Amino acid sequence: MKRIILFLSTLFVVVVVTAQSRFIARGAEPGEFYISCGWYGIYSPSGPGSYDTLRKAVFRISENGKKLSVQYDADYFQEITDSVMYPYYILTDATPGVLYGNVPTTKNSLEHTQLWVSFDYGKNWTFREKNIGANYYYPVNVEGLVYRATLDGIYKSEDYSRNFIIMENITRIGKEPGIDEEEFLDVNGCYPIDPYKFWHTNDLYQTYTEISIGEEYVFGSVSGITPDVFRGGLPGEVYIDSWFPYNDSYFWTYKVSFSADTGQTFRHVYISEPHHTHFTSSIGFMSDREQGVFYIIKYYKVEDTDPWGWHIQLCIDYYRDYGETLVDTYCHDVPKGYVNAIGDISAGSMTVQVYPNPTRGMINVQCLMINVQGVEVFDLMGRKVFEQKAEGRKQKAEWCLDISNLPDGMYFLRIISEQGVVVKKVVKN
């Protein structure tokens, strides 16, 4: 019989100290988020602790938790190089289908940081850069805008992290990007020595407000996991998660607090059952772009017997009305060979044909979908080199694109609709 265990492992922790270091990311579309975590493992004959196979994956969760797709996976034991993206910290901006991968590595006993970008919901990845030391990336709520924080200063990119320029007189950045371009949220402290405070800025900390938070809303850390802060769906909305002692030091309760007035006042919107400290990393949180919607994500390890090992199960509580309504709980069992094809990002009944391919310059794009919004063309460096908009609601949409002025090579076509984004490769020669 299979056993399901709520587990703690550094491979799967979700609630972490900074927004750029989360293994879960809010999507650019309502009802969507991404998770980077262990997928499945197969033990060697020596048993647990020694593996023949161990995989990590990028999962896309859509329809408010109802659907899960495996977008990308990789070997946990592989050598991390510049040629294969390893799922680690996942980040997003406001562009549908765009993800960033922040991958810390060690080489020659020195810490390095890689940055990758995907334009098709995490299926294919383009290497951006590798820097010595810990580099922290903050895609914000603007298409293509990314900040990079280093010991040398704060850098800014407006072209999907292709080029960064240093920002003069900016020395600090917060944990969580807000709704506006230069808005950041932060929470830090350590009871009882330093009570927690909420920080807010609209101009990259050239000016900011600092507000003390009551101990009933933010207490502290369990096993090194500290409170985190999340923006809500409307300006001024803030969520903070934290752990609280329950009766004795071996049991803790996970709580999420909410503020509608930029941290001036808070109230609890979620309180978990008491958990033993051994299980504290089994619960994660993410707010949605839609106001009043958030998710509680619970991670389980399901034991397999043939072959002996385990696979992941994710259960997602979908809340509306700021925690007043638990709409549903969706549980996804994701064993090896999960039926959803890796990288299957087709949007419902959307059918797209691109021809001729390869092409000398003229491309016909034929789509059968609702409300086609446009077509974008990106090169392998992630630069948008062509764009054409569509107007009105159409049951059938056709374009004839002329890319004859572009250099020969491979390009990505992003066909955008209400139902989602489809990405097609095209070769010009």
The vertex-73 CA angle with 225 and 108, nearest 5°, equals 65
Which position has the higher pLDDT, 15 or 127? 127
Residue 11 has pLDDT above 50, yes or no: no
Residue ranges of domains in the chain, CATH in brackets? 4-334 (2.120.10), 351-428 (2.60.40.1930)
Mean pLDDT of 259-283: 83
**pLDDT band of 370, cuts 50, 70, 90:** low
Residue with tokens 């765009």: 98
Per cent of the chain over pLDDT 70 is 85
Instruction: Name the percent of the chain in helix, strand, coil, to the closest 5.
Output: 5, 55, 40
Residue with tokens 């100290």: 17
Nearest to 213 by CA among 283, 271, 261, 254: 261
pLDDT the model gives residue 373: 75
> Residue 277 class from Cβ within 10 Å (0-12 exposed, 13-18 middle, 19+ buried)?
middle
Interatomic CA distance for residues 182 and 188, integer angstroms: 20
* The pair of three-digit structure tokens given for residue 254, joined into one six-digit string: 């996970």
pLDDT the model gives residue 16: 34
Q: Are 28 and 97 in contact (CB under 8 A)?
A: yes
pLDDT digits (tens, 9 = 90+) for 298-349: 988 888 888 999 999 999 999 999 999 999 999 998 998 887 645 444 444 4
Mapping DSSP to helix (H, G, I), strand (E, B) and coil, where does residue 100 land? strand
214-244 b/e with 16+ CB inside 10 Å = b? eeebbbbebeebbbbbbbbbeeebbbbbbbb
> Residue 273 class from Cβ within 10 Å (0-12 exposed, 13-18 middle, 19+ buried)?
exposed
pLDDT digits (tens, 9 = 90+) for 89-109: 999 999 999 999 999 988 778
Mean pLDDT of 222-237: 84
pLDDT the model gives residue 9: 36
